[in-house]
Structure 1
Protein backbone atom coordinates (compact mmCIF):
# COMPACT_ATOMS: atom_id res chain seq x y z
CA UNK A 1 0.00 0.00 0.00
CA UNK A 2 1.17 3.51 -0.63
CA UNK A 3 2.23 3.97 -4.27
CA UNK A 4 -0.96 5.79 -5.33
CA UNK A 5 -1.95 7.44 -2.06
CA UNK A 6 -2.32 11.21 -2.19
CA UNK A 7 -3.23 13.91 0.28
CA UNK A 8 -6.97 14.34 0.95
CA UNK A 9 -9.00 16.19 -1.67
CA UNK A 10 -9.27 19.95 -1.17
CA UNK A 11 -13.04 19.56 -0.83
CA UNK A 12 -12.61 17.29 2.19
CA UNK A 13 -10.15 19.71 3.74
CA UNK A 14 -12.69 22.52 3.35
CA UNK A 15 -15.30 20.22 4.89
CA UNK A 16 -13.31 20.19 8.14
CA UNK A 17 -15.38 23.30 8.85
CA UNK A 18 -18.25 20.95 9.80
CA UNK A 19 -16.68 20.28 13.21
CA UNK A 20 -19.05 22.68 15.06
CA UNK A 21 -21.98 20.70 13.66
CA UNK A 22 -20.41 17.44 14.86
CA UNK A 23 -19.98 18.95 18.32
CA UNK A 24 -23.59 20.10 18.22
CA UNK A 25 -24.77 16.64 17.16
CA UNK A 26 -22.96 15.12 20.13
CA UNK A 27 -24.37 17.63 22.61
CA UNK A 28 -27.92 17.17 21.32
CA UNK A 29 -27.96 13.40 20.95
CA UNK A 30 -25.63 11.76 23.50
CA UNK A 31 -28.42 11.17 26.04
CA UNK A 32 -30.27 9.11 23.46
CA UNK A 33 -27.68 7.13 21.53
CA UNK A 34 -25.35 6.36 24.44
CA UNK A 35 -28.14 4.32 26.08
CA UNK A 36 -27.76 1.75 23.30
CA UNK A 37 -23.96 1.49 23.45
CA UNK A 38 -22.13 -1.35 25.21
CA UNK A 39 -21.08 -0.47 28.74
CA UNK A 40 -17.57 -0.60 30.17
CA UNK A 41 -16.33 -2.48 33.21
CA UNK A 42 -14.29 0.27 34.84
CA UNK A 43 -11.21 -0.33 32.72
CA UNK A 44 -8.90 2.71 32.62
CA UNK A 45 -8.80 4.46 29.23
CA UNK A 46 -5.95 6.88 28.58
CA UNK A 47 -6.88 9.44 25.89
CA UNK A 48 -4.04 11.10 23.93
CA UNK A 49 -4.88 14.22 21.87
CA UNK A 50 -3.84 14.96 18.30
CA UNK A 51 -1.14 17.32 17.10
CA UNK A 52 -1.60 20.81 18.54
CA UNK A 53 -4.51 19.67 20.72
CA UNK A 54 -4.69 19.03 24.44
CA UNK A 55 -6.99 17.66 27.11
CA UNK A 56 -9.59 20.39 26.49
CA UNK A 57 -10.28 19.04 23.00
CA UNK A 58 -10.74 15.47 24.28
CA UNK A 59 -12.91 16.46 27.25
CA UNK A 60 -16.25 15.61 25.61
CA UNK A 61 -14.96 12.22 24.51
CA UNK A 62 -13.66 11.42 27.98
CA UNK A 63 -17.00 12.39 29.49
CA UNK A 64 -18.76 10.00 27.12
CA UNK A 65 -16.40 7.20 28.13
CA UNK A 66 -16.99 7.95 31.80
CA UNK A 67 -20.76 7.78 31.31
CA UNK A 68 -20.29 4.43 29.59
CA UNK A 69 -18.50 2.99 32.60
CA UNK A 70 -14.82 3.53 31.87
CA UNK A 71 -12.25 5.34 33.96
CA UNK A 72 -11.23 7.88 31.32
CA UNK A 73 -7.96 9.69 31.94
CA UNK A 74 -6.43 12.77 30.20
CA UNK A 75 -2.81 12.70 29.15
CA UNK A 76 -1.94 15.78 31.32
CA UNK A 77 0.93 17.00 29.12
CA UNK A 78 -0.51 20.18 27.62
CA UNK A 79 -0.68 20.49 23.85
CA UNK A 80 0.69 17.59 21.84
CA UNK A 81 3.54 19.08 19.83
CA UNK A 82 5.24 15.77 19.13
CA UNK A 83 7.15 13.06 20.95
CA UNK A 84 9.62 14.19 23.62
CA UNK A 85 11.59 12.33 26.26
CA UNK A 86 9.43 14.07 28.87
CA UNK A 87 6.06 12.96 27.54
CA UNK A 88 7.34 9.45 26.74
CA UNK A 89 8.50 9.01 30.34
CA UNK A 90 5.23 10.46 31.65
CA UNK A 91 3.08 8.12 29.55
CA UNK A 92 4.99 5.04 30.67
CA UNK A 93 4.67 6.14 34.29
CA UNK A 94 0.96 6.83 33.84
CA UNK A 95 0.33 3.38 32.37
CA UNK A 96 2.04 1.73 35.32
CA UNK A 97 0.15 3.92 37.79
CA UNK A 98 -3.22 3.11 36.24
CA UNK A 99 -2.49 -0.62 36.24
CA UNK A 100 -1.48 -0.46 39.90
CA UNK A 101 -4.48 1.65 40.96
CA UNK A 102 -7.19 0.00 38.85
CA UNK A 103 -5.91 -3.56 38.78
CA UNK A 104 -6.57 -3.76 35.03
CA UNK A 105 -4.47 -3.16 31.95
CA UNK A 106 -5.10 0.14 30.18
CA UNK A 107 -6.85 0.80 26.88
CA UNK A 108 -5.12 3.66 25.07
CA UNK A 109 -7.11 5.88 22.69
CA UNK A 110 -5.16 8.17 20.39
CA UNK A 111 -6.53 10.82 18.05
CA UNK A 112 -4.44 11.58 14.94
CA UNK A 113 -0.80 11.96 16.08
CA UNK A 114 -1.93 10.75 19.50
CA UNK A 115 -2.70 7.42 17.85
CA UNK A 116 0.95 7.08 16.84
CA UNK A 117 1.81 7.48 20.52
CA UNK A 118 -0.87 4.93 21.46
CA UNK A 119 0.44 2.31 19.04
CA UNK A 120 3.99 2.75 20.30
CA UNK A 121 2.83 2.37 23.90
CA UNK A 122 1.09 -0.87 22.97
CA UNK A 123 4.19 -2.08 21.17
CA UNK A 124 6.62 -1.17 23.95
CA UNK A 125 4.54 -1.92 27.05
CA UNK A 126 2.16 -4.85 26.43
CA UNK A 127 2.41 -5.65 30.13
CA UNK A 128 0.48 -2.41 30.79
CA UNK A 129 -1.67 -2.03 27.66
CA UNK A 130 -4.82 -4.07 27.00
CA UNK A 131 -5.79 -2.48 23.69
CA UNK A 132 -5.18 0.46 21.38
CA UNK A 133 -7.79 2.44 19.44
CA UNK A 134 -6.73 5.11 16.95
CA UNK A 135 -8.88 7.87 15.45
CA UNK A 136 -7.72 9.14 12.05
CA UNK A 137 -4.11 8.17 12.71
CA UNK A 138 -1.61 8.00 9.81
CA UNK A 139 0.54 4.95 10.50
CA UNK A 140 0.92 3.29 7.11
CA UNK A 141 0.92 4.10 3.39
CA UNK A 142 2.96 7.17 2.45
CA UNK A 143 4.44 9.34 5.21
CA UNK A 144 3.61 12.56 3.33
CA UNK A 145 0.06 11.64 2.25
CA UNK A 146 -1.44 13.86 4.90
CA UNK A 147 -1.56 17.57 5.68
CA UNK A 148 -0.41 16.87 9.22
CA UNK A 149 3.04 15.87 7.92
CA UNK A 150 3.60 19.24 6.26
CA UNK A 151 2.16 21.17 9.21
CA UNK A 152 4.30 19.37 11.77
CA UNK A 153 7.56 20.00 9.94
CA UNK A 154 6.64 23.59 9.11
CA UNK A 155 5.93 24.38 12.77
CA UNK A 156 8.87 22.41 14.17
CA UNK A 157 11.27 23.75 11.53
CA UNK A 158 12.68 20.26 10.93
CA UNK A 159 13.22 18.22 7.79
CA UNK A 160 11.99 14.65 7.28
CA UNK A 161 15.16 12.54 7.54
CA UNK A 162 16.09 8.97 6.63
CA UNK A 163 15.88 8.21 10.34
CA UNK A 164 12.32 9.55 10.41
CA UNK A 165 11.43 7.37 7.42
CA UNK A 166 12.87 4.28 9.11
CA UNK A 167 10.82 5.04 12.23
CA UNK A 168 7.68 5.55 10.13
CA UNK A 169 8.18 2.22 8.36
CA UNK A 170 8.64 0.50 11.70
CA UNK A 171 5.35 1.95 12.95
CA UNK A 172 3.47 0.24 10.12
CA UNK A 173 3.70 -3.02 12.05
CA UNK A 174 0.68 -3.70 14.30
CA UNK A 175 1.46 -3.02 17.96
CA UNK A 176 0.99 -6.62 19.10
CA UNK A 177 -2.02 -5.94 21.35
CA UNK A 178 -5.69 -5.61 20.40
CA UNK A 179 -5.78 -2.71 17.94
CA UNK A 180 -8.65 -0.91 16.21
CA UNK A 181 -8.30 1.88 13.65
CA UNK A 182 -11.30 4.18 13.24
CA UNK A 183 -11.06 6.20 10.02
CA UNK A 184 -13.12 8.33 7.65
CA UNK A 185 -12.95 8.42 3.86
CA UNK A 186 -13.90 12.11 4.05
CA UNK A 187 -11.01 12.92 6.41
CA UNK A 188 -9.66 16.29 5.28
CA UNK A 189 -6.27 15.97 6.96
CA UNK A 190 -5.10 12.36 6.67
CA UNK A 191 -5.48 10.15 3.59
CA UNK A 192 -7.81 7.42 4.86
CA UNK A 193 -5.71 4.67 3.27
CA UNK A 194 -2.92 5.63 5.68
CA UNK A 195 -5.13 4.57 8.59
CA UNK A 196 -5.85 1.03 7.41
CA UNK A 197 -4.51 -1.69 9.67
CA UNK A 198 -3.53 -5.08 8.26
CA UNK A 199 -6.44 -7.09 9.62
CA UNK A 200 -5.82 -10.12 11.81
CA UNK A 201 -7.21 -11.70 14.97
CA UNK A 202 -5.80 -8.73 16.92
CA UNK A 203 -6.68 -5.90 14.54
CA UNK A 204 -9.74 -4.26 13.01
CA UNK A 205 -10.61 -1.26 10.84
CA UNK A 206 -13.88 0.65 11.33
CA UNK A 207 -15.06 3.27 8.84
CA UNK A 208 -17.21 6.19 10.01
CA UNK A 209 -18.46 9.34 8.30
CA UNK A 210 -16.65 12.20 10.00
CA UNK A 211 -14.22 15.03 9.58
CA UNK A 212 -10.70 14.52 10.91
CA UNK A 213 -10.96 17.16 13.62
CA UNK A 214 -14.43 15.92 14.55
CA UNK A 215 -13.44 12.33 15.28
CA UNK A 216 -13.41 13.01 19.03
CA UNK A 217 -16.91 14.57 18.89
CA UNK A 218 -18.83 12.84 16.11
CA UNK A 219 -21.50 10.49 17.54
CA UNK A 220 -20.67 7.87 14.89
CA UNK A 221 -17.00 7.87 15.91
CA UNK A 222 -17.87 7.78 19.62
CA UNK A 223 -20.17 4.81 18.98
CA UNK A 224 -17.46 2.98 17.04
CA UNK A 225 -15.00 3.66 19.85
CA UNK A 226 -17.39 2.29 22.47
CA UNK A 227 -17.73 -0.94 20.51
CA UNK A 228 -13.98 -1.21 19.95
CA UNK A 229 -13.31 -0.87 23.67
CA UNK A 230 -15.50 -3.91 24.35
CA UNK A 231 -12.79 -6.22 23.06
Structure 2
Protein backbone atom coordinates (compact mmCIF):
# COMPACT_ATOMS: atom_id res chain seq x y z
CA UNK A 1 0.00 0.00 0.00
CA UNK A 2 1.22 3.50 -0.88
CA UNK A 3 0.89 5.46 2.36
CA UNK A 4 2.19 8.74 0.96
CA UNK A 5 -0.04 11.79 0.76
CA UNK A 6 -1.06 12.91 -2.76
CA UNK A 7 1.58 15.00 -4.56
CA UNK A 8 1.52 18.79 -4.52
CA UNK A 9 0.24 19.04 -8.11
CA UNK A 10 -2.92 17.12 -7.18
CA UNK A 11 -3.35 19.01 -3.94
CA UNK A 12 -3.10 22.35 -5.76
CA UNK A 13 -5.73 21.16 -8.23
CA UNK A 14 -8.28 20.88 -5.42
CA UNK A 15 -8.35 24.67 -5.23
CA UNK A 16 -10.18 24.68 -8.56
CA UNK A 17 -13.04 22.76 -6.95
CA UNK A 18 -13.67 25.17 -4.08
CA UNK A 19 -15.91 27.62 -6.02
CA UNK A 20 -17.85 24.69 -7.49
CA UNK A 21 -18.36 23.20 -4.02
CA UNK A 22 -19.58 26.54 -2.66
CA UNK A 23 -22.05 26.91 -5.53
CA UNK A 24 -23.29 23.33 -5.47
CA UNK A 25 -26.23 23.99 -3.06
CA UNK A 26 -27.70 26.27 -5.73
CA UNK A 27 -27.49 23.69 -8.50
CA UNK A 28 -30.29 21.48 -9.68
CA UNK A 29 -30.65 17.79 -8.94
CA UNK A 30 -28.75 15.27 -11.02
CA UNK A 31 -31.05 12.59 -12.52
CA UNK A 32 -30.31 9.12 -11.11
CA UNK A 33 -32.06 5.75 -11.00
CA UNK A 34 -35.27 5.72 -8.99
CA UNK A 35 -35.36 4.77 -5.34
CA UNK A 36 -38.33 3.57 -3.33
CA UNK A 37 -38.32 5.63 -0.17
CA UNK A 38 -35.20 4.05 1.31
CA UNK A 39 -33.65 6.28 4.00
CA UNK A 40 -30.16 7.63 3.32
CA UNK A 41 -28.02 9.64 5.74
CA UNK A 42 -25.16 11.71 4.26
CA UNK A 43 -22.21 12.57 6.52
CA UNK A 44 -20.16 15.66 5.49
CA UNK A 45 -16.41 15.96 5.15
CA UNK A 46 -14.03 17.66 7.55
CA UNK A 47 -14.80 21.34 8.22
CA UNK A 48 -18.01 21.16 6.18
CA UNK A 49 -21.65 20.83 7.18
CA UNK A 50 -24.85 19.49 5.67
CA UNK A 51 -24.74 22.42 3.25
CA UNK A 52 -22.01 20.57 1.32
CA UNK A 53 -24.36 17.66 0.58
CA UNK A 54 -27.44 19.64 -0.44
CA UNK A 55 -27.06 18.84 -4.14
CA UNK A 56 -26.51 15.14 -3.45
CA UNK A 57 -29.50 14.97 -1.11
CA UNK A 58 -31.62 16.96 -3.53
CA UNK A 59 -30.78 14.43 -6.24
CA UNK A 60 -31.56 11.49 -3.96
CA UNK A 61 -34.87 12.96 -2.85
CA UNK A 62 -35.85 13.77 -6.44
CA UNK A 63 -35.17 10.13 -7.35
CA UNK A 64 -37.45 8.82 -4.60
CA UNK A 65 -35.05 8.21 -1.71
CA UNK A 66 -35.52 9.82 1.71
CA UNK A 67 -32.22 11.64 2.18
CA UNK A 68 -31.05 13.36 5.36
CA UNK A 69 -27.98 15.24 6.54
CA UNK A 70 -26.33 14.32 9.81
CA UNK A 71 -27.95 17.38 11.45
CA UNK A 72 -25.24 18.19 14.02
CA UNK A 73 -23.51 21.13 12.35
CA UNK A 74 -19.94 21.32 11.13
CA UNK A 75 -17.74 18.25 11.03
CA UNK A 76 -14.96 19.40 13.36
CA UNK A 77 -13.32 16.01 13.78
CA UNK A 78 -13.63 13.10 16.16
CA UNK A 79 -15.24 13.74 19.55
CA UNK A 80 -15.72 11.35 22.44
CA UNK A 81 -19.50 11.82 22.27
CA UNK A 82 -19.81 11.80 18.47
CA UNK A 83 -21.29 8.32 18.15
CA UNK A 84 -23.66 9.09 21.03
CA UNK A 85 -25.02 11.90 18.86
CA UNK A 86 -25.13 10.02 15.53
CA UNK A 87 -26.52 6.65 16.58
CA UNK A 88 -29.83 8.06 17.95
CA UNK A 89 -30.50 9.71 14.59
CA UNK A 90 -30.00 6.37 12.85
CA UNK A 91 -32.33 4.70 15.34
CA UNK A 92 -35.03 7.35 14.89
CA UNK A 93 -34.91 7.29 11.07
CA UNK A 94 -34.88 3.51 10.90
CA UNK A 95 -37.95 3.39 13.13
CA UNK A 96 -39.67 6.12 11.09
CA UNK A 97 -39.10 4.33 7.79
CA UNK A 98 -39.42 0.82 9.20
CA UNK A 99 -36.18 -0.29 7.54
CA UNK A 100 -32.42 0.07 7.84
CA UNK A 101 -30.68 3.12 6.41
CA UNK A 102 -27.87 3.59 3.94
CA UNK A 103 -24.98 5.69 5.26
CA UNK A 104 -22.99 7.75 2.74
CA UNK A 105 -19.91 9.53 4.06
CA UNK A 106 -17.68 11.93 2.21
CA UNK A 107 -14.05 12.13 3.33
CA UNK A 108 -13.85 12.08 7.15
CA UNK A 109 -17.62 11.68 7.20
CA UNK A 110 -17.15 8.24 5.69
CA UNK A 111 -14.89 7.22 8.56
CA UNK A 112 -17.68 8.16 10.97
CA UNK A 113 -20.29 6.36 8.85
CA UNK A 114 -18.28 3.16 9.17
CA UNK A 115 -18.10 3.60 12.95
CA UNK A 116 -21.86 4.19 13.26
CA UNK A 117 -22.45 1.00 11.27
CA UNK A 118 -20.21 -0.91 13.68
CA UNK A 119 -22.35 0.33 16.57
CA UNK A 120 -25.75 -0.57 15.07
CA UNK A 121 -25.27 -2.94 12.12
CA UNK A 122 -28.84 -4.13 12.57
CA UNK A 123 -30.06 -0.71 11.43
CA UNK A 124 -27.73 -0.24 8.44
CA UNK A 125 -28.29 -1.73 4.99
CA UNK A 126 -25.27 -0.25 3.25
CA UNK A 127 -22.27 2.02 3.82
CA UNK A 128 -20.67 4.02 0.99
CA UNK A 129 -17.49 6.00 1.65
CA UNK A 130 -16.27 8.69 -0.75
CA UNK A 131 -12.54 9.39 -0.56
CA UNK A 132 -12.50 8.47 3.14
CA UNK A 133 -9.12 7.88 4.86
CA UNK A 134 -10.01 4.74 6.81
CA UNK A 135 -7.04 2.55 5.84
CA UNK A 136 -3.28 2.57 6.37
CA UNK A 137 -1.30 5.52 7.69
CA UNK A 138 -3.66 8.22 9.07
CA UNK A 139 -1.19 10.79 7.77
CA UNK A 140 -1.51 9.62 4.15
CA UNK A 141 -3.40 12.79 3.31
CA UNK A 142 -2.83 16.52 3.00
CA UNK A 143 -5.20 17.49 5.81
CA UNK A 144 -3.69 15.86 8.88
CA UNK A 145 -1.59 18.88 9.92
CA UNK A 146 -4.63 21.15 9.84
CA UNK A 147 -6.64 18.50 11.68
CA UNK A 148 -4.11 18.32 14.51
CA UNK A 149 -3.83 22.11 14.64
CA UNK A 150 -7.59 22.47 15.17
CA UNK A 151 -8.12 19.46 17.45
CA UNK A 152 -6.83 18.34 20.84
CA UNK A 153 -5.64 14.93 19.65
CA UNK A 154 -3.40 13.43 16.98
CA UNK A 155 -4.90 11.81 13.90
CA UNK A 156 -3.56 8.44 15.04
CA UNK A 157 -5.08 8.83 18.54
CA UNK A 158 -8.77 9.67 18.09
CA UNK A 159 -10.94 9.83 21.24
CA UNK A 160 -12.93 6.85 19.99
CA UNK A 161 -11.70 3.36 20.83
CA UNK A 162 -11.85 1.49 17.52
CA UNK A 163 -9.93 -0.08 14.66
CA UNK A 164 -10.75 2.34 11.84
CA UNK A 165 -9.68 -0.10 9.11
CA UNK A 166 -11.87 -2.95 10.38
CA UNK A 167 -14.81 -3.51 8.05
CA UNK A 168 -18.26 -2.86 9.50
CA UNK A 169 -20.40 -6.03 9.68
CA UNK A 170 -22.62 -4.72 6.87
CA UNK A 171 -22.22 -4.33 3.12
CA UNK A 172 -19.52 -1.64 2.71
CA UNK A 173 -18.36 0.12 -0.47
CA UNK A 174 -15.24 2.29 -0.80
CA UNK A 175 -15.12 4.87 -3.59
CA UNK A 176 -11.62 6.14 -4.35
CA UNK A 177 -9.99 8.38 -6.95
CA UNK A 178 -6.59 8.32 -8.68
CA UNK A 179 -6.56 12.14 -8.83
CA UNK A 180 -7.70 12.80 -5.25
CA UNK A 181 -5.49 15.65 -4.07
CA UNK A 182 -6.27 15.38 -0.36
CA UNK A 183 -6.53 11.68 0.56
CA UNK A 184 -4.19 9.03 -0.84
CA UNK A 185 -6.05 6.67 -3.14
CA UNK A 186 -4.74 3.65 -1.24
CA UNK A 187 -6.07 5.04 2.04
CA UNK A 188 -9.55 5.54 0.55
CA UNK A 189 -9.57 2.21 -1.30
CA UNK A 190 -8.19 0.14 1.55
CA UNK A 191 -7.26 -3.52 1.53
CA UNK A 192 -9.62 -6.09 0.07
CA UNK A 193 -10.78 -7.28 3.49
CA UNK A 194 -11.54 -3.74 4.71
CA UNK A 195 -14.61 -3.31 2.49
CA UNK A 196 -16.84 -5.49 0.33
CA UNK A 197 -16.38 -3.55 -2.87
CA UNK A 198 -13.89 -0.96 -4.09
CA UNK A 199 -15.03 1.42 -6.84
CA UNK A 200 -12.81 3.87 -8.70
CA UNK A 201 -14.12 7.29 -9.71
CA UNK A 202 -11.85 9.76 -11.48
CA UNK A 203 -12.58 13.01 -9.71
CA UNK A 204 -10.97 15.47 -7.34
CA UNK A 205 -11.60 15.04 -3.63
CA UNK A 206 -13.84 18.09 -3.37
CA UNK A 207 -16.01 16.85 -6.25
CA UNK A 208 -16.78 13.32 -5.09
CA UNK A 209 -20.05 14.10 -3.31
CA UNK A 210 -21.32 17.00 -5.40
CA UNK A 211 -20.31 16.62 -9.08
CA UNK A 212 -22.71 15.08 -11.63
CA UNK A 213 -20.27 12.19 -12.12
CA UNK A 214 -20.07 11.54 -8.38
CA UNK A 215 -23.82 11.74 -7.86
CA UNK A 216 -24.53 9.49 -10.85
CA UNK A 217 -22.10 6.91 -9.47
CA UNK A 218 -23.81 7.03 -6.08
CA UNK A 219 -27.18 6.55 -7.79
CA UNK A 220 -25.87 3.57 -9.72
CA UNK A 221 -24.38 1.97 -6.63
CA UNK A 222 -27.59 2.42 -4.67
CA UNK A 223 -29.62 0.87 -7.51
CA UNK A 224 -27.24 -2.09 -7.74
CA UNK A 225 -26.93 -2.69 -4.01
CA UNK A 226 -30.47 -1.95 -2.83
CA UNK A 227 -32.37 -3.05 -5.92
| TM-score range relative to shorter protein | 0.7 to 0.9
- Mapping of residues 129-208 of structure 1, within 5 Å: 129-160=124-155, 163-164=157-158, 170-199=163-192, 203-208=196-201
**2:58 alignment counterpart:** 63
CA distance in 1, matches of 2:131, 2:167: 16
| Aligned-partner Cα distance in 2 for 1:17–1:224 | 23
Within 2, Cα distance between the matches of 1:144 and 1:25? 29
| Cα offsets for 1:173-218 (capped at 9, x unmatched) | 2112111111111111100110114447x71111112111121211
Distance in 1 (CA, whole Å) between partners of 2:20 and 2:164 is 33
Structure 1: gaps (5+ residues) = none
**Given the superposition, is the C-alpha separation of residues 92 and 131 from structure 1 closer, same or farther in structure 2, using an over 3 Å criterion?**
same
Give the match for residue 73 of structure 1: 68
Name the CA distance, whole Å, in 2 between partners of 1:96 and 1:29: 30
Q: Deviation of residue 147 (structure 1)?
A: 1.4
Alignment map for 1:1-231 (pairs within 5 Å): 1=1, 4-19=2-17, 20-21=19-20, 34=31, 37-160=32-155, 163-164=157-158, 170-199=163-192, 203-230=196-223, 231=225
Q: Give CA deviations for 1:6-55 in whole Å, capped at 9, x if unaligned.
A: 11111111111232357879977855xx1xx3211111101110110001
Q: Secondary structure at the match of 1:206?
A: strand
Question: CA–CA distance in 2 between the matches of 1:134 and 1:17?
Answer: 22
Structure 1 vs Structure 2 CA RMSD: 2.5
Q: Give the alignment's TM-score, normalised by structure 2.
A: 0.88
Distance 1:198 1:54 in 2: 29
1:48/1:109 contact within 8 Å kept: yes
Structure 1 residue 164 displacement after superposition = 4.5
Task: State the 4+ residue runs in structure 1 displaced beyond 4 angstroms.
Answer: 21-31, 163-168
Task: Provide structure 2 residue ranges, at least 5 long, that are not aligned to the other structure.
Answer: none
* Count of residue pairs brought into register by the alignment: 222
Instruction: Give the deviation of 1:148 after TM superposition.
Output: 2.1
Deviation at 1:110, TM superposition (A): 0.5
> What's the TM-score, normalizing by structure 1?
0.86
Distance of 1:108 and 1:217 partners within structure 2? 16
Q: Structure 1 residues 29 and 185, CA, compared in 2 at 3 Å: closer, same or farther? A: farther
